[in-house]
């Protein structure tokens, strides 16, 4: 972006050549061979993005003109002008934990998951308690997966997960711990888009106030996104993220 003192050159500016071949709707998914061949150009491009972000916040009208002239996005001025003022609340990662659980030489405990460890670490780093959380995204390959993880993360006592769910605590608008308001894996994205990123996305939506109006949690400031990978009864990994709206 020459206007910000960061000329990136033809290899960067030509999104059709750099970004478009492998992903026509992608903006910054550079091929690895390009990154390796032009490391300095890539660094300049990323620095330019940071400067552009600052410029948008400082003077949106000027930013619209610069972005339109450089053809950095395949949309017209009106679309850019409508999009830029929509400054989203910042969401920070304030606590994270990871853990793995194996068979323990045949002595595996089928009633607990790696969330016991990953959740404890995440809450300790964040300095908050399970009772502070206003929304939770939990990987739900099966219904039992949800119950086990709710218990292991500390949202209810061990063995009380069934009653906790039956009492309606997971229902947005009435329950005290709204969960998977995008429908989760069971009703939305499993198996095609299964995985942790869908959990992060919906948690961020809730924190930004961008979830569907019917399920948006009011004044949502703290959320948990948690997932497991593998088989709960054999071996698996667990990851817990605690997010906060600033």
Write out pLDDT tens, residues 108-123. 788 889 999 999 999 9
Confidence at residue 5, expressed as pLDDT on a 0 to 100 scale: 39
In this predicted model, what pLDDT tens digit does every residue of 18-61 receive, in sequence order?
334 444 444 444 455 666 777 787 777 677 667 767 777 777 77
3-class SS of residue 244? strand
Instruction: Say if residue 42 is in the same domain as residue 149.
Output: no
Confidence at residue 86, expressed as pLDDT on a 0 to 100 scale: 61
Phi/psi at 170 (5° precision): -95, 0
Q: What is the CATH number of the domain that holds 134?
A: 3.40.47.10
Question: pTM, whole model, 2 decimals?
Answer: 0.68
Instruction: Say if residue 127 is in the same domain as residue 159.
Output: yes
Instruction: Say if residue 78 is in the same domain as residue 97.
Output: no
Instruction: Say if residue 120 is in the same domain as residue 219.
Output: yes
Instruction: Say if residue 128 is in the same domain as residue 228.
Output: yes
Instruction: Say if residue 95 is in the same domain as residue 215.
Output: yes
Confidence at residue 128, expressed as pLDDT on a 0 to 100 scale: 98
**How many domains does the chain divide into?**
2
Confidence of residue 2 (pLDDT cuts 50, 70, 90): very low
Instruction: Say if residue 213 is in the same domain as residue 136.
Output: yes
Confidence of residue 219 (pLDDT cuts 50, 70, 90): very high
Domain limit, last residue, from 21, 50, 83: 83
Domain limit, last residue, from 28, 50, 83: 83
Q: In what order do the strands lie in the sheet with 222-230?
A: 91-101, 236-245, 222-230, 135-138
Domain limit, last residue, from 83, 105, 121: 83
* Residue 116 belongs to domain spanning: 91-245
Weakest-pLDDT range from 1-5, 50-54, 159-163 = 1-5
Burial class for 234, CB neighbours closer than 10 Å (0-12, 13-18, 19+): exposed
């Amino acid at each position: 972006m020459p206007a910000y003192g960061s000329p990136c050159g033809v290899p960067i500016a030509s999104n059709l050549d750099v970004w478009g071949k492998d992903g026509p709707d992608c903006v910054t998914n550079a091929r690895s061979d390009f990154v390796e061949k032009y490391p300095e150009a890539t660094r300049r491009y990323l620095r330019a993005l940071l400067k552009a972000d600052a410029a948008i916040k400082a003077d949106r009208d000027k930013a619209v003109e610069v972005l339109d002239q450089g053809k950095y996005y395949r949309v017209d001025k009106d679309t850019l002008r409508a999009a830029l003022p929509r400054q989203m609340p910042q969401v920070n990662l304030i606590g994270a934990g990871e853990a793995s659980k194996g068979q323990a030489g045949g002595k595996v405990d089928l009633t607990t998951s790696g969330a016991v460890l990953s959740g404890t670490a995440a809450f300790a780093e964040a300095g908050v308690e399970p009772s502070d959380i206003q929304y939770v995204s939990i990987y739900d390959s099966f219904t039992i997966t949800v119950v086990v993880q709710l218990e292991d993360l500390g949202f209810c006592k061990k063995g009380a997960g069934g009653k906790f769910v039956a009492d309606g605590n997971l229902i947005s608008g009435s329950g005290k711990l709204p969960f998977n308001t995008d429908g989760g894996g069971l009703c939305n994205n499993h198996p095609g888009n299964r995985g942790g990123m869908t959990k992060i996305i919906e948690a961020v939506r809730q924190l930004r106030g961008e979830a569907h109006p019917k399920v948006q949690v009011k004044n949502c400031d703290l959320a948990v996104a948690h997932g497991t990978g593998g088989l709960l009864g054999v071996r698996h990994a667990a990851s817990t993220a605690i997010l906060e709206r600033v």
